[in-house]
Structure 1
Amino acid sequence: MKTPLLPVAPPRLSMRLEGLEGKTRGFWSYAWHGEQLELHHGKAGTDGKRESRTFASTEEAGAFVRKQVTARVAKGAWSSDLAFESTTWAQVKDSVQVPGNSEEDEDRVLVLSGDIVVPHGLWLDFRRGIFALDDPDASPFVGLIVRGNLTVEGCLFNGENDFGPFLQVHGNLVATSIAIGGSRLRVTGDVMTGDLVAVYNHGSVSVGGALVARTVASEYTLQVEGPVDAWCYRGRGSKVFAVSAGVEASDDPYDAKGVFVPAVVADERVLLDKARNLLSAGKPISRPVFTSVRDAFRQLVSKKMAEPDKVKSLTLEGKGLTSLPDDLFQFRRLEKLNLRSNELRTLPEALGQLTELRELDVRSNGLRTLPESIGALKKLRVLDLESNCLWRLPDSLAECVELRTVNLVNNPYSYVWRAFGGWSRVQLMWDFPEVLTRLPKLEVVTFEGTPLRTLPRRRFDSTSLRTVTVRKSLVTEVDPDLHSQLTVSVEDSAGKAAAYIGYWFRSEYVRLESFHDAKSGQYDFTEVIALLRLLLRINIPTAAPYDTALENFRKGSENIVWDLNWHGSNARHVHALFTALRDALGPLGEPDPGNALVAGLRDVFAVHAGG
């Protein structure tokens, strides 16, 4: 599928803009003659000021014009060639096909008749640009109706997430880009645009015909009655899929970073707000050429793909992989596979096809689980799982009868919240995986920084076992007879338990947006309480007598308060948060009545709670 080509408007040799500058209506115009510009600007109704500027080249003069027009439109100016009419909401409301926004009958609606060309961007924000009011006491303009086709030679932009004037087009819409939030857009015909960004879920986009775009990035569903041709990202860390004539190529996904520029991608997500702002400034948000997951992999291993049976070792370290393409499993004779430092959260069941594999390195990925098919790797000798988020090992691992070395240091690694996508989803490896005791040739196992509470209830079958090391865990008791094959450090368990508080109970993870919806004004402390529940489970009973744990909670609380209320206007949010945390200690403390950590935390949280 090729990216759609958008018609490019030729540069305009002249233009006149007008708009409100404060309470005064002003104008600005230019006439472009090669390297020379004739400029005219001033207050409406006056002769204004004229000046001539000469540039080093025609291109430099054109760049100046484009920059000036973009900046002035952003400040509220518009082309004086646009012949707006005005009517009331009462007169047109029966014909408007957008969701209501509590409009009043006396509110005003702008109307443009015929096929309209806007020679710059078009802003859809209340009391701004074409919707600005000469008289602040007059009824507001709540929308724009175009009775014909509309072409916008720039970005169709709305900066508010909760609301915005509606736009209804009784024909087709062509725009260089579309970047909206709370505005409601209805086009009865087709829409053709470059990048389309729709932020949040209070706005709406409804297209009666076809939608052709370079990319579509939206957190809510666009209603399109005709076919769609675009690369579509549907929000919240999803993949990007090419859609052609309404059919999605679900078997060939794209990572966000393969379609969008780095400036708008973070943690596998497209930052829609940032993308909207870049489009409004006329800057690109999508790459010149898109690369699918499959194509990215092929580029990495293009030479090796010619003769896959000859490949014995493959290194894909630090390539930003979020999934493994099917092509990888053509290397059936692969013996060493290095996937270190990517962003893999799971491995596909197809991994079991690599039956010649001797060494598998998936260190530093944020993996949560291993596939059951790993048991098919009968020749596997080295399994490096360091710095992931594994909370269990599959029973099928016992079938890896040649396995010698298993590295489970730092599970979970630093970004456990990101790997699971929320504290309420986090799972930790509390119990020693007894499947390891059934490996017949195991020699070395290393646990460090893994919150194990229990040790195996059986001895290891391997007669080749050299070292099984457990450090910085939550283990407090060791059976000297049963666990004689293990080296376990119990003296650092309390310190490690308390350290998790310092890692996670901090402003980085307890941000205002994590518990307060600015749009509705409602609080939701589900995630924060899930974090508190997890930290209590780690520290009870491991960290008794809790002096360090309470001190870490106190420091964390102060850090969170400072970050939430550094400018002094969020005291109510601080009070609400710590009141919720204090109250949550009741049900969270029920399994451990009279626990000193729970009692001490009530005092820590009460310092910042309301009432």
Structure 2
Amino acid sequence: MRLVGVEGKARVFWAYAQHGERLELHHGKQGTEGKRESRTFASAEEAAAFARKQVAARVDKGAWSSDLAFESTPWEQVKGSVQLPGNSEQDEDRVLVLTGDVVVPHDLWLDFRRGIFALDDPDAEPFIGLLVQGNLTVEGCVFNGENDFGPFLQVNGNLTATSIAIGGSRLRVTGDVMTGDFVAVYNHGSVSVGGGLVARTIASDYALRVEGPVDAHRYQGQGSKVFAVSNGVEDTQDLYEVKGVFLPAVVSGERVLLDKARKLLATGKPISRPEFTSVRAAFRKLVSKKMAEPDKVKSLSLDGKGLKSLPEELFLFRRLEKLSLQSNELRTLPEELGLLTELRELDLRSNGLLTLPESMGALKKLRVLNLETNCLWRLPDSLAECVELREVNLVNNPYAYLRWAFGAWSKVRLMWELPEVLTRLPKLEVLKFEGTPLRTLPTRRFDSAVLKTATVRRSLITQVDPELHAQLDVVDLASSPRNAAAYIDYWFKRENVRVEHIHDAKSGRYDFTEIIALLGLLLRLNIPTAAPYDGALEKFRVQSEDIAHAMDWAGASAHHVRALFLALGDALGPLGEQHPSNALIAGLRDVFSVHARRGT
């Protein structure tokens, strides 16, 4: 192998040939005889390892294979064929072009003024990218160390690489990508693949655009779990914690340290485990010894495992007294939960649960039920059979990710009434409601004679029967209008109302179904609670202005803003039929009409 590079203002070369345990080395300035030397090692393997290390070190310093027959072409001549987001390229900028199927026998660095993009003359126009007219094989890492920028790489064919680790560079492959670990650090970079993507792992802050099927174990940043993706289908039932896929060196808590992972790949070091272990497999391993004598297990925690369903093995522990399932993604629970008849404490916080199973009634020894931060809209009547239940926590139902939990605004259901079944618990001592849009209270007294604390805070309740509800501590009824209006801030915001939520770019069609469902939900929350509606209207006005600004921030989407607010204004007709002459609906017509005329 022969490498060439730039040292200062001089072009240099370094080459080797291996003969068993002996290496013949040749290096110097190009155009000279250079220096030759021979080194002998204990074995051919040691000689090969030394050569690889020397190649990596020199490539790291900017050298590249002399077999790469680059052509330098002005950007003006190739810009029509480059399918990448623009980066203020100038016509006189230069692009490196490789024609035919190419093998790079080492790492490929995508950083300005480094390696193949180095300049003999620092005043010359820069090389801004590499265009490969054919298949590209990189026997190493495709690496870009800068987060904000880097030369582009477009391959008009397939790309095969040992690994890929990029940041600000833009990568476009018209065919398939086949690699080991793939790390993409978010900033100004992008990845676009016209075919399929096969990787051992994908770790990225942003979604890669892949037109064909994906096969990989994929982590998409921000503390998410890892999902196995096969032929483009994500397995959501058997997910992985990051520590079950990635090595400890690149894991911090529930996050993959993408910058560190990128640097390790650049040095040829691994970032993923030899074998992956899913949450279910880890659970089976954790309880494998306990399963020999399941009746001896009294307490079990599966907190923060990203579970969307419960492992079947859980229900073998019939003597469990304490079970914690908080901070998962459970939307429902199986009826098999009723098999755990010895439960005293059940912690279901922070799951986005929509309902509880009817089998809850079988948990007759249950004393503490923590349902905080979910999306429960009803409780099963069978809960009345939990005759030992002392404490029920229903704070923050619904929680912030309401639409995500239900799957669509049109599917959202809320707990409007304090469930009467709670009044039938004979030993209830503590009941907590806060941040739940309750409108009405039960029409019967609580059966419990030992009820010490029963609080209802931040609700929509405006009236209390002091005699019937003497056991309830319903504070600050005057805040109900503010509580109702607060949901406008929570839900009617730019993150929930984007162009892609209402417009299909391919068909050019609009669909306002979900946004209108959101508006209907907010009207139901605020009418009549928020009357006389000054606070609610002001929030709608502020949020509408912010949504319009975000949607049309570049000044090219005023037509989308007009379409959105025209549709919202039209929707006020059918939505307001039950509320004739309502001041909130009348005020909203004025708010929406302002943005329905944007840009005209």
Please state which band the TM-score falls in when normalised by the shorter chain. 0.5 to 0.7
Residue in 2 that maps onto 1:9: none
Residue 456 (str. 1) matches residue 442 (str. 2) = yes
Aligned residue in 2 for 1:184: 174
TM-score by length of 1: 0.64
| C-alpha distance in 1 between matches for 2:587 and 2:142 | 56
Partner Cα separation in structure 2 for residue 587 and residue 286 of structure 1: 52
Q: What displacement does 1:68 show?
A: 4.3
**Equivalent pair of 1:472/1:492 in contact (CA under 8 Å):** yes
Aligned equivalent of 1:31, options 11, 14, 17 = 14
Match of 1:167 in 2: 157
Mean Cα deviation higher: 544-553 or 575-584: 575-584
Does the Cα contact within 8 Å between 1:264 and 1:285 map onto a contact in 2?
no
Q: Within the alignment, does 1:288 sit opposite 2:273 as a pair?
A: yes
Amino acid at match of 1:436: L
Q: How does 1:114-153 map to 2 (within 5 A)?
A: 116-121=103-108, 144-146=133-135, 150=137, 152-153=139-140
- Unaligned 5+ residue runs, structure 2? 17-22, 33-49, 72-96, 111-115, 118-129
Question: Equivalent residue for 1:3?
Answer: none
Once residues 516 and 483 of structure 1 are traced to their aligned partners in structure 2, the CA distance between those partners, rounded to angstroms, is 49
Counterpart residue type for residue 539 of structure 1: N
| C-alpha separation in 1, matches of 2:391 and 2:447 | 15
Deviations 1:212-249 (A, max 9, x none): x523687768569xxx8x647899989623879x9999
Determine helix, strand or coil for the equivalent of 1:454.
Answer: coil
Choose from 573, 593, 606 the match for 2:557.
573
- 1:124-174 deviations in Å (ceiling 9; x for gaps): xxxxx99xxxxxxxxxx997345xx955433399x99xx9653159xxx56
User: Which of 370-379 and 174-183 deviates more?
Assistant: 174-183
TM-superposition CA deviations, 1:287-328 (whole Å, max 9, x none):
335331024446766886675422323345556656543443
- 1:504 aligned residue (476, 491, 497): 491
Separation in 1 of the partners of 2:163 and 2:419?
Answer: 56
Distance 2:270 2:495 in 1: 27
**One-letter amino acid of the counterpart of residue 360, structure 2:** I
State which of 415, 418, 423 in structure 2 corresponds to 1:429: 415
Decide whether aligned partners of structure 1 residues 111 and 496 sit closer, same or farther in structure 2, where only a CA change above 3 A counts: same
Distance change in 2, residues 1:277/1:369 (3 Å): farther
Name the SS of the counterpart of 1:337 in structure 2.
strand
- After superposition, the Cα gap between the structure-2 partners of 1:306 and 1:515, relative to the gap in structure 1 and judged at 3 Å, is same
Equivalent AA in structure 1 for residue 272 of structure 2: R
Aligned amino acid, residue 399 of structure 1:
E
> Per-residue deviation at 1:451?
0.6
Matched, 1:384 2:370: yes
Bigger mean CA offset, 352-361 vs 514-523 = 514-523
Q: Give the conservation status (yes or no) of the 8 Å contact 2:323–2:343.
A: yes
AA of the residue aligned to 2:418 = F
Matched, 1:337 2:323: yes
Gap runs ≥5 in structure 1: 1-11, 19-25, 48-56, 73-77, 86-108, 124-128, 131-140
Work out the CA distance in 2 between the residues paired with 1:342 and 1:326.
Answer: 16
Amino acid at match of 1:573: S
1:15 corresponding residue in structure 2: 3
**Cα distance in 1 for residues equivalent to 2:251 and 2:417:** 37
Q: 1:550-599 CA deviation, whole Å, 9 max, x = no partner?
A: 2222333454456566xxx5234367336513531332343333321122
Q: Which amino acid aligns with 2:554?
A: N
SS of the residue corresponding to residue 586 of structure 1 reads: helix
Shift of 1:539: 0.8
Query: Shift of the alpha carbon at 1:473?
Result: 1.4
Give CA deviations for 1:503-530 in whole Å, capped at 9, x if unaligned. 3333454456655678888766555444
Structural RMSD (CA):
5.7
The 3 A distance-change label for structure 1 pair 472 and 248 is closer
Name the SS of the counterpart of 1:492 in structure 2.
Answer: helix
Asked if structure 1 preserves the Cα contact closer than 8 Å seen for 2:249 and 2:271, the reply is no
CA distance in 2, matches of 1:294, 1:492: 45
Residue identity opposite 1:144 in structure 2: Q
**Aligned residue type for 1:473:** S
Q: Contact (CA 8 Å) 1:389, 1:412: kept in 2 or not?
A: yes
Q: In 1, Cα distance between the equivalents of 2:241 and 2:302?
A: 16
Q: Distance in 2 between matches of 1:577 and 1:531?
A: 17
Name the aligned partner's letter for residue 291 of structure 1.
Answer: T
- Do the aligned residues in 1 keep the contact of 2:332 with 2:356 (CA within 8 Å)? yes
Among 347, 362, 369, the residue aligned to 2:348: 362
Q: Structure 2 counterpart of 1:65, which letter?
A: R
Letter in 2 for 1:155: V
Secondary structure of the 2:350 match is coil
Tell me the distance in 1 between the aligned counterparts of 2:179 and 2:304. Answer: 38
1:98 aligned residue: none
Distance 2:405 2:260 in 1: 24
Q: Deviations over 1:377-427 (max 9, x none)?
A: 121121111122222223332332322321111111233344445544433
Which structure 2 residues correspond to residues 457-476 of structure 1 after superposition, within 5 A? 457-462=443-448, 465=451, 468-476=454-462
Percent same amino acid among aligned pairs?
52
Q: Distance in 1 between matches of 2:538 and 2:486?
A: 11
Return the alpha-carbon distance in structure 1 between the equivalents of residues 235 and 536 of structure 2: 51
Asked whether the equivalents of residues 548 and 561 of structure 2 are also in contact (C-alpha less than 8 Å), the reply is no
Distance 2:520 2:263 in 1: 40
> 1 CA distance for matches of 2:192 and 2:451?
61
Question: Partner letter of residue 370 of structure 1?
Answer: L
Maintained 8 Å contact 1:525/1:577: no
Q: Which of 512, 531, 536 is equivalent to 1:544?
A: 531
Which one of 368, 372, 377 corresponds to residue 358 of structure 2?
372
Counterpart of 2:58 in structure 1 is 65
